[in-house]
């Protein structure tokens, strides 16, 4: 296949402010298009950011709402493909973390993240589709944040896709006592955030376009009396199928755009999928937090997120409404 110029967006979000985040994404996507990008990938939760803040629960949008309409407007304005994920309120009344891919002809498909990560359970439920979207001549695989940490994502996409896309909202480990121990866990966490996209490219055998968030985070800590203070980490990165970096922007560099040429197409994976659940070692503290915050989050979701109205967002300047399929629907 011929080279394709792709772009990954790095966003500094305004937590829970859907209209402002859409504005910021539009400006960055326009910049990417001016640099010649034919594919533009927005981060996970590009409409809200992600933190344990009640206003995140107020940011759910319908499948064909303002987030999808902005992506359609960008696709039609620039003649490009655009994808990104947002908290989506489906017809059954539940929220899901939906990655929607569009082009100038409309919505191409959707993937719902398989499992919420830790306190993300407060805001949405798990998905069940295979994460493969057909867009023209390309089969596109979608994997978001800690999907990049699990062998099940590698197995469902391995050898099946020509291009990987996705994004993250990856938190740092807080600097709580005992500080020496937490620093070791943070070093491991930061290494995982950096390594995960390239590792998935090698396991699947396809180039990856991975968008991310940047900036600081302050919020309560679920079910604990201490505040969380940290930052988004990892990188916005584009890698070839061998995991070689083609473009990169560290989250410490702030908001911006990464653009690179990739060669889409399925190649023989250069790594074997290990026979275990997690691709990368997490450590005891993240493992305990995963289990505890999952159970807390599921209760919080039932009590506080279900039944809230969807966000009302002005759609000025974006495309007219179009269809947006449920995950797993024919593409």
Domains of the chain: 4-305 (3.60.110.10)
3-state secondary structure of 133: strand
* Structural contact between residues 251 and 235, judged by C-beta atoms closer than 8 angstroms: yes
pLDDT in tens, 108-146: 999 999 999 999 999 999 999 999 999 999 999 999 999
Summary mean pLDDT of the chain: 93
More confident residue, 95 or 284: 95
Calpha distance 150→120 (Å, rounded): 16
CA 93 to chain centre: 22
Nearest to 100 by CA among 167, 55, 169, 19: 167
pLDDT of 326 reads 45
- 87 beta partners: 97
pLDDT in tens, 297-327: 999 999 999 999 999 997 544 544 444 444 5
Under the banding of pLDDT at 50, 70 and 90, the label for residue 330 is very low
CA 83 to chain centre: 10
Q: Distance of CA 295 to CAs 181, 269, 291, Å?
A: 25, 36, 7
177: number of Cβ within 10 Å: 8
Rounded to 5 degrees, what are φ and ψ at 204?
-90, -35
Calpha distance 203→196 (Å, rounded): 11
């Amino acid at each position: 296949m011929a080279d394709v110029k792709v772009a990954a967006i790095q966003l500094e979000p305004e937590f829970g402010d859907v209209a402002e985040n859409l504005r910021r994404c539009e400006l960055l996507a326009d910049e990417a298009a001016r640099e010649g990008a034919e594919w533009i990938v927005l981060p996970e939760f590009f409409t809200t950011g992600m933190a344990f803040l009640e206003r995140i629960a107020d940011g759910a949008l319908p499948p064909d709402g303002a987030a999808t309409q902005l992506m359609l407007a960008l696709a039609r304005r620039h003649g490009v493909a655009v994808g990104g994920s947002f908290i989506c309120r489906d017809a059954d009344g539940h929220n899901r973390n939906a990655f929607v891919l569009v082009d100038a002809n409309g919505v191409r498909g959707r993937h719902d993240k398989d499992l919420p990560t830790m306190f993300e359970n407060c805001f949405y439920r798990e998905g069940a589709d295979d994460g493969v979207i057909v867009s023209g001549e390309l089969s596109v695989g979608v994997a978001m944040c800690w999907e990049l940490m699990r062998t099940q994502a590698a197995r469902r996409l391995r050898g099946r896709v020509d291009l990987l896309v996705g994004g993250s909202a990856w938190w740092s480990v807080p600097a709580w006592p005992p500080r020496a121990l937490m620093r070791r866990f943070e070093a491991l966490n930061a290494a995982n955030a950096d390594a995960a996209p390239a590792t998935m490219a090698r396991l699947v055998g396809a180039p990856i376009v991975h968008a991310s968030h940047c900036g600081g985070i302050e919020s309560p800590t679920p079910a604990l009396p201490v505040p969380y203070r940290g930052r988004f980490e990892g990188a916005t990165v584009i890698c070839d199928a061998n995991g070689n970096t083609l473009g990169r922007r560290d989250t410490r560099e702030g908001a911006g755009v990464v653009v690179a040429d990739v060669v889409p197409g399925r190649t023989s994976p250069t790594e074997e999928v290990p026979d275990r659940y997690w691709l990368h070692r997490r450590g005891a503290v993240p493992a305990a937090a995963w289990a505890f915050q999952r159970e807390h989050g599921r209760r919080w979701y039932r009590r506080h997120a279900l039944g809230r109205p969807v966000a009302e967002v002005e759609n000025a300047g974006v495309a007219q409404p179009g269809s947006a399929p449920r995950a797993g629907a024919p593409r």
